[in-house]
């Protein structure tokens, strides 16, 4: 880190200072759109096959997660996966999953090669999975976050009456050893199933299965060809009740008998198999199936098994709040299972027109999903050029590479709420670049004044002009256009100056 890096940082800071002083919701965006603004100068997207980096009507979208694949779609629900695309320099360690389930539906039992952190965005869910040798079953409500380890079989039920369930989840692919299974980037192993999805069991030789189940191959055929409704099924109602609904209607001891056979089969076959990879899943399946079947004397609370409860992000106090919004961060200290994934969670609510001040994540890459409202996201390259200035609204997802300076700005029309995951469970203390308590504020002194080539008083005056920290208000009066123009000129100047390795003054 030499003098140049320092200058670069300062150039960014000053640019942001100048801009934040004159920010106006839509107008701010407009200056980068059409007519050769900063955004128009961007290089075309590097690397990335399907990912679009060009300017679209809503702005440059380089860091939006636009590679969306619908991996499940049935009458009873759907699951979409958003990926960051392919990059020359890094592999995206995380995908974002969006699950929607109709009332009275079941996401049939499966295990994944990736660990999940679920966030119940709307509705209520019952989740069953295996953890530390035990079945854990929990009722999750809106705002809850909950982790499921890779290889651990789980099911998800929406049994709320008349209420759709919306879940946002992180799909952490760091456990899958770089398998590129398919376009969706991770692999589900369905424990149950038939024609669609295919059960992992149906891969076994028919005679083996028949022996293991102690039933005829004809009977087996029936089991493995009945389910055709896809991975999310209706549990009851007028629609055909699939195999799983029928299964769940069986008497407990019948379910036990049926599933025990499945479990034993898995175990037997594993003995001659290459054990390594699937050892844990098998173990999990056994535990898990026991749980679906239920012990004869299981208690029927909404909480079964040891292990941490879900953690509700709506119930927690904000880490920071002022008149312009609040931020919340869930770390491993709040919810210990995050430690295993090394993933943190955040939720931000900005009032109309406010801005989460320019900041960097020193330790984490960040993935966000817009929950409500609309706004813009700006990301800056290390060399001090604007990398993205995109308008986003509900349902859009974005990602921010580690170290890249960025800020989020709510549109003037209403509050802007976004939720996300960061790739560090430890307190990923973001460093704010602008505002009271910012890095610049704390470091401003003769050295920085010299670095900017202005005197200390001048620097102080600029740095102290913003009295708020972290979440900054919009400019109180919409500045006239010429002021915007001026702000843009300043930004351009500063960036250009940096290109020449010289920092110019502000005027
Ligand atoms: C297999 O099923 C038959 C009845 O169909 C029963 O007599 C026999 O004991 C069963 N064998 C095992 C190993 O469960
Ligand atoms: C976000 O803030 C707005 C007011 O600015 C409020 O109406 C809304 O309920 C807040 N959202 C959450 C989830 O608290
Ligand atoms: C800054 O870096 C980006 C990404 O590496 C590159 O596309 C762009 O051309 C660079 N801009 C300048 C002015 O060097």
Q: Does residue 212 form part of some domain?
A: yes
Range of the structural domain that residue 246 is part of: 33-304
Whole-number pLDDT of residue 189:
82
Distance 465 CA to ligand 2 centre (A): 28
Distance 495 CA to ligand 2 centre (A): 36
Ligand 2 pocket, residue 354 CB under 6 Å: no
Specify whether 156 is located in the same domain as 237.
yes
3-class state of residue 288 by DSSP: helix
Q: How many angstroms separate the CA atoms of 202 and 209, rounded?
A: 8
Q: What mean pLDDT is predicted for residues 275-295?
A: 45
Specify whether 153 is located in the same domain as 182.
yes
C-alpha neighbours within 13 Å on the C-beta side of residue 242: 27
Q: Does residue 129 form part of some domain?
A: yes
Query: Which ligand lies nearest the alpha carbon of 372?
Result: 2
Specify whether 262 is located in the same domain as 348.
no
Q: How many angstroms separate the CA atoms of 444 and 438, rounded?
A: 10
Nearest CA to ligand 2 atom 1: 349
**CATH code for the domain in which residue 154 is found:** 2.60.120.10
Specify whether 108 is located in the same domain as 251.
yes
Answer whether residue 322 shows pLDDT above 90: yes
Pocket test for ligand 2, best of 326, 349, 356 (most atoms within 8 A of CB): 349
Answer whether residue 9 shows pLDDT above 80: no
Q: How many angstroms separate the CA atoms of 437 and 230, rounded?
A: 53
Q: How many angstroms separate the CA atoms of 148 and 434, rounded?
A: 38
Share of the chain above pLDDT 90, in %: 27
Ligand 2 pocket, residue 143 CB under 6 Å: no
- The torsion angles phi and psi of 80, rounded to 5 degrees, stand at -115, 150
Q: What is the pLDDT of residues 359-384, one digit of tens each?
A: 999 888 899 999 999 999 999 988 88
Q: What mean pLDDT is predicted for residues 117-146?
A: 87
User: Hey, what are 124's tokens?
Assistant: 């209520």
Q: Does residue 23 form part of some domain?
A: no
What's the CA dihedral at 59, 49, 400, 441 to 10 degrees? -70
Q: Write the CB contacts of 231 (distance below 8 Å, at least 6 apart in sequence).
A: 72, 74, 79, 107, 108, 110, 188, 190, 193, 197
Whole-number pLDDT of residue 166:
97
Distance 310 CA to ligand 1 centre (A): 43
Among 304, 337, 370, the domain-final residue is 304
Specify whether 206 is located in the same domain as 349.
no
Specify whether 223 is located in the same domain as 323.
no
Specify whether 138 is located in the same domain as 284.
yes
Among 304, 331, 353, the domain-final residue is 304
Residues 126, 302 contacting (CB under 8 angstroms): yes
Specify whether 384 is located in the same domain as 488.
no
As for how many domains the chain has, the answer is 3
Model confidence at 293, pLDDT cuts 50, 70, 90, reads very low
Q: What mean pLDDT is predicted for residues 190-213?
A: 75
DSSP single-letter state for residue 53: -
Give the containing element (helix H, strand E) for 233.
strand 232-234
Q: Does residue 353 form part of some domain?
A: yes
What CA–CA distances, in Å, run from 406 to 41, 305, 331, 466?
18, 42, 21, 18
Q: Does residue 408 form part of some domain?
A: yes
Share of the chain above pLDDT 70, in %: 61
Specify whether 232 is located in the same domain as 188.
yes
Q: How many CB atoms lie within 10 A of CB 409?
A: 27
Residues with CB under 6 A from ligand 3: 43, 381, 383, 385, 499
Q: How many CB atoms lie within 10 A of CB 112?
A: 24
Query: Which ligand lies nearest the alpha carbon of 410?
Result: 2
Q: Would you call 316 exposed, middle or buried from its count of C-beta atoms within 10 A (0-12, 13-18, 19+)?
A: middle
Distance 316 CA to ligand 2 centre (A): 14
One-character DSSP codes across 319-372: SEEETTEEEEEE-TTTSTTHHHHT-EEEEEEE-TT-EEEEEE-SS--EEEEEEE
Specify whether 465 is located in the same domain as 482.
no
Burial 461-487 (b: 16+ CB within 10 A, else e): ebbeebebbbbbbbbeebbeeebbeeb
Q: What is the pLDDT of residues 378-411, one digit of tens each?
A: 999 888 888 899 999 999 999 998 888 999 999 9
Give the containing element (helix H, strand E) for 449.
helix 446-452
Whole-number pLDDT of residue 289:
53
DSSP single-letter state for residue 180: -
Q: How many CB atoms lie within 10 A of CB 125?
A: 25
Answer whether residue 130 shows pLDDT above 80: no
Q: Write the CB contacts of 98 (distance below 8 Å, at least 6 apart in sequence).
A: 79, 80, 81, 82, 166, 167, 168, 169, 369, 395
Specify whether 195 is located in the same domain as 336.
no
Model confidence at 251, pLDDT cuts 50, 70, 90, reads low
Ligand 2 pocket, residue 110 CB under 6 Å: no
Model confidence at 342, pLDDT cuts 50, 70, 90, reads confident
Q: How many angstroms separate the CA atoms of 186 and 81, rounded?
A: 10
Pocket test for ligand 3, best of 48, 383, 493, 498 (most atoms within 8 A of CB): 383
Model confidence at 295, pLDDT cuts 50, 70, 90, reads very low
Q: How many angstroms separate the CA atoms of 277 and 179, rounded?
A: 12
Report whether the peptide linkage leading into residue 197 is cis, meaning its omega lies within 30 degrees of zero: yes
User: Hey, what are 118's tokens?
Assistant: 């679920």
Whole-number pLDDT of residue 30:
36
Q: How many angstroms separate the CA atoms of 188 and 81, rounded?
A: 13
Q: How many angstroms separate the CA atoms of 235 and 233, rounded?
A: 6
Strands (E), 373-448: 374-380, 386-393, 397-400, 406-410, 416-422, 431-432
Specify whether 352 is located in the same domain as 281.
no
Reported pTM: 0.70
Nearest CA to ligand 3 atom 5: 381
Q: Does residue 18 form part of some domain?
A: no
Whole-number pLDDT of residue 111:
83
> What value does the mean pLDDT of the chain take?
72
User: Hey, what are 113's tokens?
Assistant: 């090669």
Q: Does residue 309 form part of some domain?
A: no
Q: Does residue 12 form part of some domain?
A: no
Among 281, 304, 327, the domain-final residue is 304
Distance 312 CA to ligand 2 centre (A): 16
Q: How many angstroms separate the CA atoms of 379 and 386, rounded?
A: 6
Q: What is the pLDDT of residues 467-507, one digit of tens each?
A: 888 999 987 533 334 444 555 555 455 444 444 433 333 33
Q: How many angstroms separate the CA atoms of 143 and 287, rounded?
A: 28
Atom of ligand 3 nearest to the CA of 43: 7
3-class state of residue 188 by DSSP: strand
Q: What are the counts of helices (DSSP H) followed by strands (DSSP E) for the chain? A: 12, 28
One-character DSSP codes across 33-52: SSTT-GGGGPPPPPS-SS--
């Amino acid at each position: 880190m030499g003098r140049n890096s320092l200058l670069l940082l300062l150039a960014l800071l000053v640019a942001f200072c100048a801009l934040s002083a004159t920010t106006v919701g839509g107008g701010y965006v407009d200056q980068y759109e059409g007519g050769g603004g900063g955004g128009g100068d961007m290089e075309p997207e590097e690397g990335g096959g399907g990912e679009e980096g060009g300017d679209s009507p809503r702005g440059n979208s380089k860091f939006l997660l636009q590679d969306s694949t619908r991996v499940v779609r049935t009458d009873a629900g759907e699951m979409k996966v958003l990926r960051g695309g392919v990059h020359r320099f890094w592999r995206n360690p995380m995908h974002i999953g969006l699950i929607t389930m109709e009332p009275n539906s079941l996401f049939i039992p499966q295990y994944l090669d990736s660990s999940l952190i679920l966030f119940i965005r709307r509705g209520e869910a019952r989740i069953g999975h295996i953890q530390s040798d035990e079945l854990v079953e929990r009722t999750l409500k809106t705002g809850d976050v909950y982790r499921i380890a890779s290889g651990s079989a789980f099911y998800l039920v929406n049994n709320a009456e008349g209420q759709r369930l919306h879940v946002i989840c992180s799909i952490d692919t760091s456990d899958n050893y770089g398998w590129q299974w398919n376009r969706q980037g991770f692999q589900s192993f369905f424990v149950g199933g038939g024609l669609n999805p295919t059960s992992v069991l149906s891969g076994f030789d028919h005679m083996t299965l028949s022996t293991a189940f102690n039933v005829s191959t004809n009977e087996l055929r029936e089991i493995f060809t009945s389910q055709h409704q896809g991975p999310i099924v209706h549990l009851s109602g007028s629609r055909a009740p699939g195999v799983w609904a029928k299964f769940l209607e069986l008497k407990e001891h019948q379910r036990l008998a049926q599933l025990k056979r499945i479990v034993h089969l898995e175990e037997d076959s594993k003995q001659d198999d290459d054990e390594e990879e699937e050892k844990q899943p098998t173990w999990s399946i056994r535990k898990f199936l026991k749980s679906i079947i239920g012990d004869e004397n299981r208690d029927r609370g909404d909480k079964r098994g040891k292990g941490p409860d879900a953690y509700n992000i709506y119930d927690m106090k904000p880490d920071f709040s002022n008149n312009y919004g609040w931020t919340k961060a869930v770390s491993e200290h709040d919810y210990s299972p995050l430690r295993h994934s090394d993933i943190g969670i955040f939720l931000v609510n900005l009032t109309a027109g406010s801005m989460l001040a320019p900041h960097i994540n020193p330790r984490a890459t960040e993935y966000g999903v817009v929950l409500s409202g609309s706004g813009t996201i700006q990301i800056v390259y290390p060399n001090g050029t604007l990398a993205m200035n995109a308008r986003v609204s509900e349902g859009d997802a974005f990602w921010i590479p580690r170290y890249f300076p960025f800020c989020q700005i709510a549109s003037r029309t209403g509050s802007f709420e976004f939720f996300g995951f960061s790739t560090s469970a430890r307190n990923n203390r973001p460093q704010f670049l602008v505002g009271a308590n910012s890095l610049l504020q704390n470091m401003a002194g003769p050295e920085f004044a010299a670095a900017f080539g202005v005197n200390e008083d001048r620097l102080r005056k600029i740095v102290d002009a913003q009295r708020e920290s972290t979440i900054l208000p919009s400019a109180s009066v919409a500045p006239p256009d010429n002021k915007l123009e001026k702000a843009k000129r300043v930004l351009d100047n500063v960036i250009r100056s940096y290109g020449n390795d010289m920092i110019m003054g502000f005027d």
